[in-house]
């Protein structure tokens, strides 16, 4: 007797970067069964995924915690899949070692207005001039002098020095000093209208995939290298270790508090126009 085909197609969005790929390896490789679901990967940069979620056109997706402020009516945050920078995070870099006062006078390339990095930048520096540039082009544009400074996410946080650039501020370090909390960068959002049972099932699937990656690190890292944009294995392993950790398996009390405070500070600063009620499931 043949096995019944999966009954429901679920799109799951994630960024084409090593840490997200590492987390998804279990499902992508078939080592973690998708059960009754047919999982379709949607690979896009985080700002594009934010926009898909704003449209409500994707069932589960990685999103910026900043963007979640505008999604909370339609999506909840799964308890697993968080990207948290505990004392480290997105970096602002420039071609010379300028001070913060000089940085505030510059135009800073950012990877998207809804990214958590962009919110952290405004919380740290106040109103600054920005220019939206695809995340994987920021480092090169700063190095060529086409923009004064750049806000780096993903692997650029580890490779900027090789391009001759200088770190001006680490926003994760700044946030830790301000709050003694990790900086919440990304999470997995799930559409509420899928229903409680489906939401919980998807949460279990994604957690199982993350656990599989952590338990089979070498294989998951090999898979993640395809998304490393030239990162060697050692740097990719370091990068994955920065953003796939205990907070990724579950936000925990401290992680949940970090998300709530980050969005609260954004509202208090007038960046987010409304207070945000955060819901974590399951």
Among residues 189, 181, 210, 185, which one has the least CA distance to residue 281?
Answer: 189
Dist CA 179 CA 158 (whole Å): 24
Among residues 48, 65, 20, 81, which one has the least CA distance to residue 248?
Answer: 81
Dist CA 47 CA 52 (whole Å): 9
3-class DSSP state for residue 282? Answer: coil
Residue 184 Cα to chain centre, angstroms: 8
Dist CA 30 CA 38 (whole Å): 11
- DSSP sequence for 120-189: HHHHHH-S-EEEE--GGGHHHHHHTTSSSEEEE-TTHHHHGGGGT-EEEEEHHHHHHHHHSSPEEEEEEE
Query: Which residues form the catalytic set?
Result: 154
Dist CA 54 CA 42 (whole Å): 15
């Amino acid at each position: 007797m043949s096995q019944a085909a999966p009954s429901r197609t679920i799109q799951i969005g994630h960024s084409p970067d090593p840490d997200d790929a590492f987390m998804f390896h279990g499902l992508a490789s078939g080592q973690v069964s998708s059960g009754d679901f047919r999982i379709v990967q949607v690979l896009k940069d985080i700002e594009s995924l934010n926009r898909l979620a704003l449209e409500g056109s994707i069932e589960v997706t990685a999103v910026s915690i900043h963007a979640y402020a505008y999604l909370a009516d339609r999506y909840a945050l799964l308890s697993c899949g968080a990207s948290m920078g505990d004392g480290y995070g997105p970096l602002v870099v420039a071609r010379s070692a300028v001070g913060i006062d000089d940085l505030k006078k510059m135009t800073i390339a950012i990877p998207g207005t809804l990214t958590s990095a962009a919110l952290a930048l405004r919380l740290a520096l106040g109103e600054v001039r920005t220019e939206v540039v695809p995340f994987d082009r920021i480092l090169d544009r700063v190095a060529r002098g086409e923009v004064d400074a750049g806000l780096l996410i993903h692997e650029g946080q580890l490779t900027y020095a090789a391009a001759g650039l200088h770190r001006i501020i680490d926003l994760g370090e700044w946030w830790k000093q301000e709050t003694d909390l990790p900086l919440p960068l990304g999470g997995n959002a799930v559409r509420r209208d899928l229903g409680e049972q489906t939401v919980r099932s998807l949460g279990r699937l994604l957690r199982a995939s993350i656990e599989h990656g952590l338990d089979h690190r070498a294989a998951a890292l090999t898979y993640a290298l395809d998304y490393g944009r030239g990162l060697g294995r050692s740097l990719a392993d370091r990068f994955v270790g920065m953003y796939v950790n205990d907070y990724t398996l579950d936000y925990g009390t401290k992680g949940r508090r970090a998300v709530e405070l980050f969005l609260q500070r954004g509202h208090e600063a007038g960046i987010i126009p409304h207070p945000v009620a955060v819901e974590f499931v399951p």
